[in-house]
Amino acid sequence: MTITLQDPRVADVLDRMYAASQAQMSQLRERAPDMSAARTVKERADAMSDFYIPVTPEAGRLLYSLVRAARPATIVEFGMSFGISALHLASAVRDNGTGRVITTEISETKIAAAKQTFIDTGLDDLITVLEGDALATLESLDGPVDFVLLDGWKELYLPVIKLLEGRLSPGALVVADNASTESIGPYLDHVRDVENGYVSANFAVRESDSMEISSYAEA
């Protein structure tokens, strides 16, 4: 059985990117004030344009497994960064033999680097990058959407998912990273309220953080 995550082209790139991410951790903590919601999305993206800020390897494997199991036709990712999570999603799509990944990013630096990475790993044919503010680029998205990964600026999780709700297929999975972050509170209130059509559960992916995994039950 082919497992694309174990393809040397993919595995070697992921190892390199995770190593680079670890080497940046001290710098990232120093740069934390630049991620303040008081700045515009573009200003914060530019301030973070050299930093990976990725899902953990464990979270990446969870995303791969969820996509393999759910077999979504269309996956939407909010917040591509340098493309680590998109590689996990696209690897699962490749192994499923069907589907596509649509990812969003506003940083021109990250877009250029990620596109080259997708080519280098042989996954570029499965990934479409929407360039610019996700609240604008996702407006023209054609549905239905079967799987959503939210991993951009946390205060935008709720506006993004509300934008997509009219396109979500029945039973669509919505995964929100960094669910322990304070600014994600309004989003969690939304998906944990059964009146909004979700069944939601929290899943620990690291010692100090978690993912919120929600199924959209309404058609």
Q: Is the pTM of this model over 0.85?
A: yes
pLDDT tens per residue across span 128-161: 999 999 999 999 998 899 999 999 989 999 999 9
CATH code of the domain covering residue 85: 3.40.50.150
pLDDT tens per residue across span 7-40: 999 999 999 999 988 887 766 666 665 556 557 7
Average model confidence (pLDDT) for the chain? Answer: 91
pLDDT tens per residue across span 160-179: 999 999 999 999 999 999 99
| 46-50, 182-186, 200-204: least confident range | 46-50
Q: Are the C-beta atoms of 55 and 84 separated by less than 8 Å? A: yes
| Residue range(s) defining the domain that contains residue 131 | 4-216
3-state secondary structure at position 2 = coil
Contacts of 75 (CB under 8 A, 6+ apart): 67, 89, 93, 99, 100, 101, 102, 145, 146, 147, 148, 149
Residue written as token pair 């033999």: 97
The count of structural domains within the chain is 1
Bridge partner residues of 154 (DSSP): none
pLDDT tens per residue across span 69-124: 999 999 999 999 999 999 999 999 999 999 999 999 999 999 999 999 999 999 99
Contacts of 160 (CB under 8 A, 6+ apart): 78, 134, 135, 138, 150, 152
The rounded distance, in Å, linking the Cα atoms of 17 and 101 is 20
